[in-house]
Structures are given as C-alpha cells and as structure tokens.
Structure 1
Amino acid sequence: MNARVPVLFGGLAVAVVGVGLLSASLGQYGIPVNEVFGTLWNVRFPRVALSFVVGAVLGVAGAVMQGIFGNPLAEPGVVGVSPAAAVGAAACVLG
C-alpha cells in the first residue's frame, strides 16, 4: 500500500465532515457552524446524512452495474431502469 493513501483518505474524510457541517448550517435561516452540533438531529442534519447515504448508494450501484456488464460506460438504460422510472414518475403525476 502506498504511504500517501491513508493521508488521502484522512483528508477526504475531513473534507466530507466539513462539507456536511457547512451544508447543515446553510438554509433559509443561517445557523453558525459552531451551533450546528447543538441542533444535530433537528431538521437539517438528517437531510444532509441522507444525501450522503443516497450518493454512496448510487455510486455503489453504478460500480456494480459497470462490473456486471464489464462496460465502463454502462448506464441504467442498459437494463431498462430509466424507462421504468419514467413510467413510475408519470403514474405519480397523473395519480
């Protein structure tokens, strides 16, 4: 393992925490970053945490799809997920 990899992952972890705190402090009513910890599980932080989880799941799903098909350009249209999502969205709009 390269000696720079732990430093890179540490730096990325610090960046993710910093972006999470910053995004939890922004909104219609600004909350100072030092007060975000006091309002940790109110309204904003669950949204920030959910956005991190959704982003990670989408990244893993894309990597799995590319691995299964052996195609680095694989996308959801390959297996028909995009048309099915369009049908679901249209059903929600009409219903």
Structure 2
Amino acid sequence: MGRGKTMRDHLLDTLKNLLEAELKEFKSKLTDIKLVKGYHSHIPRGDLEKAEPVELTELLISHYGGHNAVRVTTMVLEAINQRDLTERLRRATVAGQE
C-alpha cells in the first residue's frame, strides 16, 4: 500500500477524516447500501452504533475482508458526498497494488 501503509491504515486514515456527524452518517448509510457480491448481511447496527474509527475499521475488515472493505467504504463515502476522501482512498489503495 505504498510507504509501508497497510490497507487497514488507509481505511483508518480515511475514517478519521470524517467529522462526528459525518461518521454517524457513514455508519447509517453503511447499513443501507447494496451489499457487495457474495455477502448476505450488513454489519449489525448494534455493533456500529458506538464504533469509533478504529473499531469501525476493524468491523469493516473482519466483516468484508480487506479489498471489499475498501470497496464498501468508497461506496458509502460516495453515497454521503465525500468525494475527496473517496478519491484519496482509491488512489492510496490502488497505488499499493501496483
């Protein structure tokens, strides 16, 4: 993932850039978005409710796996109009795959 950063680091950095209200909107939208192919359930709302960026990162990765966690995160960020963060996350994670 470039310069020693892992996918987890990039996800966490992205989520830390959300203001409190934006993080709340992210978690709300996370349970509404179309599921990534191969997944049959969303992360339970109860698990998301009090999750701060570190816990949310762990929930995303443990539920969806690394690459799908990034896909889901970018989908949700786009849905809540966080295009700058979406692009930054995409660039960081794509650069690390080369």
Q: Give TM-score scaled by structure 2 length.
A: 0.25
Asked which structure has the greater RCO (Cα within 8 Å, sep 6+), the reply is 2
TM-score by length of structure 1 reads: 0.25
Counting helix residues as a fraction of each chain, which structure ranks higher? 1
